[in-house]
Amino acid sequence: MLLSTFFEHIKRTKTLAQGRVFCFSGLIYPLLFFYHLIAFFKRNKLIVETLDCIGMDIGSIKALLSTMSFSGEVVYWLEGFYALPEKKQQEMFQYFSTYEGPHRIVLFSDKVATINALATKEMVGNMHVVPLPNDITAQDFSAVRFLVSDTLQDKSPFASQIAMYSDYLSLDNICLFAHYELVVGKNSDDFFSQWMARIVDPTSSFFVLSQHFLSKKSKPFFRQWATVSEHYLPTFWASFWADQVWRAYVYCDLMKQKKYADAKKAQYKLPFSFINRDWSLCSLTELRNAHQFLCSMDFRLKNGGSELGLEHFYSKFFENKFQQK
């Protein structure tokens, strides 16, 4: 089951889909996300109980899961399941694959190799496998934050601005920003201008910055630039842009030669929009001239040159002056 499908269902119905066991899988355990997922179910009147897998033996867990309680069907959250030894997890997966109730089970496992065998079938018996990505696009912020509060609207200025500052976020960060949205309300401009660059993963900010740069979208570029520029020295930016422009040049050259397999190997660290479409807007001459300018600027900066070289570089790039031979 896709994570988006899972979200759409619980948002609409306020309960789990059909099936007895829901196994989330991923490389990293998103603590804040699961806290809000369980809180969401409790908020919507589901009977949820937590089983501490570390403090209980497997036999006791199975006994509880197979016994009807006085309160009827219970959603059991198997806290700490991912910390069990792999052999014990495999034993439990065998049990889950034929589990028919009377309760429902939610758990997380980071044993990706074990989960992948189940995920290929998507559902084994009554067990759903829901893969969790390390990061999801910031545009999906609105699709997740309902877990944090019922008062947050599907569309808001805060949700719109998230995508302008970060191209992707972890599930935990999305929950964290949903909390910030509740606090700052409509007065979000100061939050984004002063705090966003300190909270979000810097590699994500660089990704968005590079996306706007290579797409030649000057307004969103300079808005993003204003939030990160002062956190790094000009020599860093000279090296950063030289690396981005050189990677873009290699990728464009291979794509124009229709060497798609080689181009795919060279796309590392380039923004998705450039890989998918914007590469066709760039000329090799422009990228080559831009790279030469950056190399010369880097040398000057390291020998006492003016920091205004960066502003001059941006001006020439957005005005297409590097296209001249």
pLDDT, tens digit, for every residue of 190-203? Answer: 777 666 656 665 55
Quick one: 118 and 140 in the same domain? no
Quick one: 31 and 128 in the same domain? yes
Say what percent of the chain tops pLDDT 90: 26
Quick check: is 309 in a domain? yes
Quick one: 241 and 293 in the same domain? yes
Say what percent of the chain tops pLDDT 70: 86
Strand pairing category for 127-131 and 123-124 = antiparallel
Domain boundary among 182, 200, 218: 200
pLDDT at 147 over 60: yes
Quick one: 128 and 17 in the same domain? yes
**Predicted confidence band at 254 (pLDDT cuts at 50, 70, 90)?**
very high
What's the pLDDT at 125?
57
Lowest mean pLDDT among 176-180, 185-189, 208-212, 293-297: 185-189
**Predicted confidence band at 303 (pLDDT cuts at 50, 70, 90)?**
confident
Lowest mean pLDDT among 251-260, 288-297, 301-310, 311-320: 301-310
How would you list the strands of the sheet with 75-79, edge to edge? Answer: 48-52, 75-79, 104-109, 21-25, 127-131, 123-124
Quick one: 94 and 144 in the same domain? no
187 or 148, greater pLDDT: 148
Domain boundary among 146, 181, 200: 200
Quick check: is 290 in a domain? yes
Quick check: is 207 in a domain? no
Average pLDDT over residues 95-124: 74
Quick one: 70 and 140 in the same domain? no
Quick check: is 98 in a domain? yes
25 or 126, greater pLDDT: 25
Average pLDDT over residues 138-159: 74
303 or 140, greater pLDDT: 303
Quick one: 293 and 235 in the same domain? yes
Quick one: 126 and 22 in the same domain? yes
**Predicted confidence band at 70 (pLDDT cuts at 50, 70, 90)?**
confident
Can you give the residue range of the structural domain that contains 100?
3-134
Quick one: 154 and 109 in the same domain? no
245 or 172, greater pLDDT: 245
Quick check: is 216 in a domain? no
Number of domains making up the chain = 3
Average pLDDT over residues 16-45: 91
What's the pLDDT at 1?
81
What's the pLDDT at 123?
44
Q: What is the mean pLDDT of the chain?
A: 83
Quick check: is 27 in a domain? yes
Quick one: 91 and 46 in the same domain? yes
**Predicted confidence band at 158 (pLDDT cuts at 50, 70, 90)?**
confident
What is the signed CA dihedral for 273, 277, 280, 281, rounded to 10 degrees? -60
Quick check: is 28 in a domain? yes
pLDDT at 159 over 80: no
Average pLDDT over residues 294-300: 89
Quick check: is 76 in a domain? yes
Quick one: 232 and 289 in the same domain? yes
User: Amino acid identity, residue 33?
Assistant: F
Lowest mean pLDDT among 106-110, 130-134, 193-197, 228-232: 193-197
Quick one: 193 and 249 in the same domain? no
CATH of the domain at 28: 3.40.50.300
